[in-house]
Amino acid sequence: MKTIFVKPASVEKKWFIIDAKGKRLGRVAVEAAKIVRGKNKPEFAPLHDNGDYVIIINAKEASLSGNKYQDKVYYRHSNYPGGLTEENYAKMVERKPTFPMEHAVKGMLPKGPLGYKLFTKVKVYAGADHPHAAQKPIEVEI
């Protein structure tokens, strides 16, 4: 019996939409990463891009458990001595409303060229409006 590999060009790409309002940030990110990776399809292959497109709306209104709203910290470094900057979730959502969701999804995708390509298929919006109505996205329940 031979393993069947489906070429990425022959796979039909669909669009899915996830509403993150009131849902846990991590749960939404896991579902988005699964769909983008193609793990929900029977022809999944870890080395191919067989996944679909994902639109995440209301990313600003995703919830966190416990005290993470104040305690969760994002770090970045300027590559200069003493250049470490830290910012908690509450301030990050005010400054960049889509960053925490993008960061969570990106962390769940593979590292390297395949992961970078897959991440371009994730569209995150802070509010309920998005410009992808023409693609007729399918609603995903979490």
Segment 69-88, tens digit of pLDDT: 999 999 999 999 999 999 99
**Range name among 3-7, 61-65, 100-104 with the lowest pLDDT average:** 3-7
> Domain for residue 17, yes or no?
yes
What is residue 6's predicted lDDT score, i.e. its pLDDT? Answer: 85
> Domain for residue 3, yes or no?
no
> Domain for residue 2, yes or no?
no
Confidence band (pLDDT; 50, 70, 90) for 7? confident
Count of domains for the chain: 1
The one-letter amino acid code at 57 reads: I
> Domain for residue 60, yes or no?
yes
Confidence band (pLDDT; 50, 70, 90) for 43? confident
Average pLDDT score, the chain: 95
Q: Which domain holds residue 65?
A: 8-140
Confidence band (pLDDT; 50, 70, 90) for 30? very high
> Domain for residue 1, yes or no?
no
What is residue 112's predicted lDDT score, i.e. its pLDDT? Answer: 96
26-34, long-range: CB within 8 Å, 24+ apart, which pairs? Answer: 26/104, 27/142, 28/56, 28/62, 28/101, 28/104, 28/142, 29/101, 29/104, 29/105, 29/107, 29/108, 30/108, 31/140, 31/142, 32/56, 32/105, 32/122, 33/105, 33/108, 33/109
Q: What is the CATH number of the domain that holds 93?
A: 3.90.1180.10
> Domain for residue 132, yes or no?
yes
Measure the CA–CA gap between 51 and 14, rounded to whole angstroms: 8
Q: Which two tokens stand for residue 80?
A: 């200069």
Kindly report whether the global pTM for this prediction surpasses the value 0.75: yes
> Domain for residue 120, yes or no?
yes
